[in-house]
């Protein structure tokens, strides 16, 4: 569209732009939604509650037009027809102008056309049928970067309408141009298309509504909160696709979570929030944008760094195994790492019990296979000895953090393993102050744990997250490797694994795109917070999860083919979803179970327009 418009601009001397839904867009689905926001703000500031202002405001405008003595009316004309006292009407009018200022923003696409016309030395005018004051519109246009036009024509100021053709006649008279040398650009069929066309003016019709979002969706009849977020996102256009994906998927989720987290913090009188690595890195960045002055800290932990220091307190292998979260199949070398040992130091043990170290061990074998139990018993003393050492180093690290008595820990969540392990370590260390835990989601009950997206008592979103868990977790990737253990060294208390995205050019490329997604997410938080629209938004899980859920479940074809091949680290680096056909049902079952993005796996395998989430939930219930 833009290229066609620029070609039309080249052919004329005078370029006329409409304002609303052309140069400026409102961050609401419908212009009348502004009146809902006016009512909301008025009620928040007044002791007497106002009801049904939207209907009253619409009716007042109709009455003002019926009684008009000129072609158009002013905002004052409308407010004299409202059924309120003078003080209330005056306050409502002030609020309406404030809300209009808040929701209005430049149309990025038409701004390019406007700037092009200016650069080409065209005579640029702005023409609008609008009741809002001319000086108000001038301020908004100036704020949004429209400052070098020749003249602004507003119907209520001139007493003439575009829709009658009279305002265009005035423009041509004052600008001394013939219709064939003038181009008008706008979205209204009557005022921007038919009226100028009848006068012989060239027109470039544009649509009132364009769907610019990739993943955030919004049916027409939705709560105002979702309406505002969608409209804001739909009015934002970016050159980089991954930046835009982050802006409208991860951004709203982090915004919603951060606001929920702040409410939880206030409710529980939390003195300090500890953001656990590595998922907590992007969460802390998001939270700090909205609440920059609060007491927060990034803490280096991992499941492995909190579990290994516990093993010395266990009385048997069965107790140790119950602590370690394992999938249906576990790589033996990864198991050794999980219990704190380097498998390369135990080649004789492996050989003695018939193992090479590269085996993928089914979960049931840990309790049923004698040779595996024999191997475990042969390394138990070393596991205990290493565990005691790591426990001492854990104590040194956390003592250095100066944690207050009432504090919270923040992490992505799931089973609550990190908090349970952490609290058990605190108990072993003689610490009595236990934290509150705040999570994106929890699959099991946690005594001092709360979750935003799903929990055992409200698990509507759990299956959705699980269907693209690998992708979900990748978007929370930190900029450093996972914590292996604590060293006991005051200067360098943390030992980390190599950063998995530095493995090769392919993984580095994937991380660059993940970083763009995260940059987009953080930019959304900055922009939406700056807009002050967040004061009108209720960030429930549905609103916050909308875009990211659609990214995981309803991925566009051009994104699915590339993102599904990003390497996900779960003991080994494997693609998120790369199905391999096999005539062996057992191999297919194992391949599906190991896929980190199961919806993408099914889509790439079946390649048909099917209800993939329903298929996934059915398979999940049968594979349990």
Residues of the chain with pLDDT under 70: 570-571, 623-624
pLDDT attached to residue 104: 96
pLDDT attached to residue 290: 97
Helix axes 505-531, 250-267, angle to 10 degrees: 60
- 259-304+402-496 shares the fold of 1-23+107-210: yes
DSSP string, 127-173: EE---S-HHHHHHHHHHTT----SEEEEHHHHT--STTSHHHHHHHH
pLDDT attached to residue 325: 78
Give the CATH class of 1-23+107-210: alpha beta
pLDDT attached to residue 47: 87
- Measured distance between the N- and C-terminal CA atoms of the chain, rounded to whole angstroms: 51
pLDDT attached to residue 201: 96
pLDDT attached to residue 324: 86
Closest CA to 191 of 104, 127, 122: 127
| Other CB atoms within 10 Å distance of the CB of residue 185 | 25
Tens-place pLDDT, residues 147-181: 999 999 999 999 999 999 999 999 999 999 999 99
Write the CB contacts of 202 (distance below 8 Å, at least 6 apart in sequence).
8, 11, 12, 179, 180, 182, 183, 184
- Note whether 5 and 204 are within 8 A (CB): yes
pLDDT attached to residue 588: 77
pLDDT attached to residue 28: 93
| Annotated domain spans of the chain | 1-23+107-210, 25-105, 259-304+402-496, 305-396
- Can you say whether the dihedral through the CA atoms of 456, 461, 467, 472 is positive or negative? negative
Write the CB contacts of 193 (distance below 8 Å, at least 6 apart in sequence).
186, 203, 205
Report the largest interatomic distance among the alpha carbons of the chain, rounded to a whole angstrom.
Answer: 102
Give the CATH class of 259-304+402-496: alpha beta
pLDDT attached to residue 621: 78
pLDDT attached to residue 571: 64
pLDDT attached to residue 221: 77
- Note whether 473 and 278 are within 8 A (CB): no
Write the CB contacts of 316 (distance below 8 Å, at least 6 apart in sequence).
none
Indicate the burial class of 111 (C-beta count within 10 angstroms; 0-12, 13-18, 19 or more): middle
């Amino acid at each position: 569209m833009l290229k066609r418009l620029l070609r039309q601009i080249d052919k004329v001397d005078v370029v006329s732009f409409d304002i609303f839904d052309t140069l400026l867009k409102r961050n609401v689905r419908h212009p009348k939604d502004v009146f809902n926001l006016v009512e909301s703000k008025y009620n928040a500031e007044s002791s007497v509650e106002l009801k049904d202002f939207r209907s009253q405001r619409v009716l007042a405008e109709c009455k003002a037009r019926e009684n008009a003595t000129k072609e158009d009316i002013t905002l004052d004309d409308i407010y004299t027809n409202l059924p309120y006292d003078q003080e209330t009407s005056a306050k409502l009018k002030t609020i309406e102008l404030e809300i209009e200022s808040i929701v209005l923003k430049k149309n990025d696409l038409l701004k390019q056309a406007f700037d092009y016309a200016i650069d080409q030395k065209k005579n640029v005018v702005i023409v609008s049928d609008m009741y809002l004051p001319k000086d108000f519109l001038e301020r908004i246009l100036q704020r949004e970067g429209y400052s070098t036009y020749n003249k602004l024509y507003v119907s209520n100021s001139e007493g003439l309408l575009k829709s009658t053709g009279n305002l265009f006649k005035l423009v041509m008279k004052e600008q001394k141009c013939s219709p064939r040398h003038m181009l008008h650009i706008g979205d209204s069929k009557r005022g921007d298309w038919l009226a100028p066309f009848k006068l012989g003016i060239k027109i470039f019709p544009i649509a009132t509504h364009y769907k610019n979002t990739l993943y955030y969706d919004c049916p027409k009849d939705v709560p105002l909160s979702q309406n505002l977020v969608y409209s804001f996102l739909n009015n934002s256009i970016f050159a980089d696709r991954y930046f835009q994906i982050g802006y409208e998927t991860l951004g709203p989720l982090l915004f919603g979570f951060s606001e929920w987290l702040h409410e939880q913090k206030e409710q529980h009188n939390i003195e300090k929030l500890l953001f656990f690595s590595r998922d907590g890195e992007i969460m802390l960045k998001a939270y700090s944008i909205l609440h920059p002055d609060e007491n927060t800290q990034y803490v280096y932990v991992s499941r492995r760094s909190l579990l290994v220091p516990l093993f010395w307190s266990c009385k048997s292998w069965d107790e140790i195994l119950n602590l370690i979260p394992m999938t249906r199949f576990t790589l033996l070398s990864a198991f050794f790492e999980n219990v704190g040992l380097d498998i390369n130091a135990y080649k004789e043990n492996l050989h003695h019990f018939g193992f090479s170290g590269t085996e993928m061990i089914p979960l049931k074998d840990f309790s049923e296979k004698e040779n595996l139990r024999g191997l475990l018993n042969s390394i138990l003393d070393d596991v205990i000895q290493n565990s005691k050492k790591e426990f001492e180093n854990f104590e040194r690290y956390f003592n250095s953090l100066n944690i207050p008595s009432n504090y919270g820990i923040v992490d992505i969540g799931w089973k609550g393993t990190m908090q349970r392990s952490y609290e058990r370590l605190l108990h072993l260390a003689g610490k009595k102050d236990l934290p509150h835990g705040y999570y994106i989601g929890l699959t099991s009950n946690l005594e001092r744990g709360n979750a935003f997206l799903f929990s055992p008592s409200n698990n509507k979103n759990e299956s959705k997250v699980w269907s693209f868990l690998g992708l979900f977790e990748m978007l929370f990737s930190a900029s450093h490797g996972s914590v292996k253990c604590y060293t006991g060294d005051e200067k360098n208390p943390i030992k980390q694994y190599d950063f998995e995205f530095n493995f090769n050019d392919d993984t580095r490329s994937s991380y660059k795109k993940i970083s763009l997604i995260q940059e987009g997410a953080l930019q959304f938080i900055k922009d939406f917070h700056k807009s002050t629209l967040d004061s009108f938004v209720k960030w429930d899980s549905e609103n916050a999860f909308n875009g990211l859920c659609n990214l995981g479940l309803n991925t566009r074809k051009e994104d699915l083919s590339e993102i599904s091949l990003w390497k996900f680290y779960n003991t080994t680096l494997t693609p998120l979803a790369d199905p391999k056909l096999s005539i062996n049902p057992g191999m297919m079952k194992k391949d599906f179970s190991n896929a980190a993005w199961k919806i993408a796996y099914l889509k790439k395998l079946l390649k048909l327009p099917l209800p993939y989430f329903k298929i996934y939930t059915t398979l999940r219930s049968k594979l349990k």
